[in-house]
Amino acid sequence: MIELLRHRRSIRAFTAEKIDRHTVATLVEAALRAPSSRGNNPWHFILVDNPATLEKLAQAKQHGSQFLRHAPLAIVVCADSSRSDVWVEDTAIAAIIIQLTAASLGLGSCWAQIRNRPHDGETSAERYVQELLGLPEQLKVTCILGIGHPAEQKPPLAAEALQQEKIHWNRWE
C-alpha cells in the first residue's frame, strides 16, 4: 500500500481507451466495500461514460472540472443526507478508496470537488449536478472522480518534500 501511495498522483489527462467492464466492476466493488459510520452506507455512485454527459459534467464548476471532458469514466460520489449526519466523511472515504483501487489497476484519477463550489453566480455546482443527473434533493454530491488510462506521467512526490512539520507527538509543540 505504501508503494501505491508513493506513486499515486492526480491525473487529469487520459487516453481515449475505454475502461473494460471487469475493471469497472472492480471499482464498483471497491466503492461498495468502503466503510461508513455505523455501517449506514449513505453513499450512492453514479457512473457516467456517456460523452455528452461527461461534457456537461466538465462544466459543473468554474475551475477544476474541465478534465472530466476527456475522462472515459466519471463516478459522481453522493450520499443520502437524511441517512447520516456524517455523509461528507463517508463519501470522502469511499472516493479515496475508489481512487486507490483505480491506481492499483494502473488507472489514473482525479477528484473534482463539487460540494461547496459554485457553478456560476447563481447556481451551486451541486445543484447543477443534481439537475443534470436527476438526483433527488436529499442526494448531496461530494465530488466527481474522473478515471481513465493515464495520458500523462507525473513523478512521485519526493520524500524530502513531505511536510514533516505537520507531524506532532502527544501534544501541539
| Domain-embedded: residue 172 | no
| Domain-embedded: residue 128 | yes
Residues of the chain with pLDDT > 90, as a percent, come to 98
Q: Inform me whether the pLDDT recorded for 173 exceeds 90.
A: no
pTM of the complete model: 0.95
> What pLDDT shows up at residue 148?
98
Give the Cβ contact number of residue 89 at 10 Å: 14
Tell me if 130 sits within 8 A of 139, measured CB to CB: yes
Total domains present in the chain: 1
> What pLDDT shows up at residue 50?
98
Q: By residue range, what is the domain housing residue 135?
A: 2-153
| Domain-embedded: residue 160 | no
| Domain-embedded: residue 167 | no
- The CATH number that applies at residue 20 is 3.40.109.10
| Domain-embedded: residue 116 | yes
| Band of pLDDT at residue 79, cut at 50, 70 and 90 | very high
Q: Inform me whether the pLDDT recorded for 60 exceeds 90.
A: yes
> What pLDDT shows up at residue 82?
95
| Domain-embedded: residue 161 | no
> What pLDDT shows up at residue 49?
98
Tell me if 61 sits within 8 A of 112, measured CB to CB: yes
Q: Which residue has the cell 433527488?
A: 136
Q: In angstroms, rounded to a whole number, what is the distance separating the alpha carbons of residues 159 and 32?
A: 32
Average pLDDT over residues 83-111: 97
| Domain-embedded: residue 48 | yes
Q: Inform me whether the pLDDT recorded for 15 exceeds 90.
A: yes
> What pLDDT shows up at residue 13?
97
| Domain-embedded: residue 122 | yes
Average pLDDT over residues 124-148: 98
